[in-house]
Structure formats: C-alpha cells, structure tokens
Amino acid sequence: MSNQFGDRIKLLREESQLLQRQVASQLDMDTSMLSKIESGDRKAKKNQITQFAKVLKVNADELLTLWLADQLIEVVEGEYLALKAILVAEEEVKYNAKKKK
C-alpha cells in the first residue's frame, strides 16, 4: 500500500522536532490515530489536509497531491493495465481543465 502522504507527514513532523502527541493535539485527534496515518494503517480524511498543512507549516497543495496519489495507487495497484488507465485518466483531466477555462 502506498503511503506517500503519511511518510511526508512524519518527515515534516520530525524536521519540526514535534512529537506525535503535540501534532495530534493540534489536529484534535488521538496520538494513536496520527501514528496510524503516518504508518499507513489509516488514511487521513481529505478535509484534514489543510489542518495538517497549517500545523506542519507546509503548502496544502503538496499534501493534497500526495494524498490523491495514494488514493489513485490504491485503486489501480496490482492491475496490469494500471499505467494505461492512469494515462487515459490524465488526458481526461487535462481535457476537463481546458473546458473550465
């Protein structure tokens, strides 16, 4: 299972010399929940991304990108057409972005 988000959260926390309990209290969650998010045993909810970004003083888009990547990987992991499906999805995302402009 991909855990780019959790790995990044842990790295940012450690670089800031913060304990899990310090970050968890600022996020209004249990220390065990934060530990599980960092280790990949639990997933953060999308609405928690901005809270993580504020507490860890990082751009929310960076964390959201990693969170989304983890979601995509989970869906296509083990599929032999995974890369092809991602490329098709990429084209659709680009097309939809152009339509919105």
Q: What is the pLDDT along the chain (101 residues), one digit of tens a residue?
A: 679 999 999 999 999 999 999 999 999 999 999 999 999 999 999 999 999 999 999 999 999 999 999 999 999 999 999 999 999 999 999 989 888 87
**Residues in Cβ contact with 20 at an 8 Å cutoff, skipping those fewer than 6 apart:** 13, 31, 34, 35, 38
Query: Residue 34 carries which side chain, given as an amino acid letter?
Result: L
Q: Indicate the pTM of the whole model.
A: 0.87
CB 35 within 8 A of CB 20: yes
pLDDT of residue 1: 65
Q: 4-100 in CATH: which number? A: 1.10.260.40
pLDDT of residue 9: 97
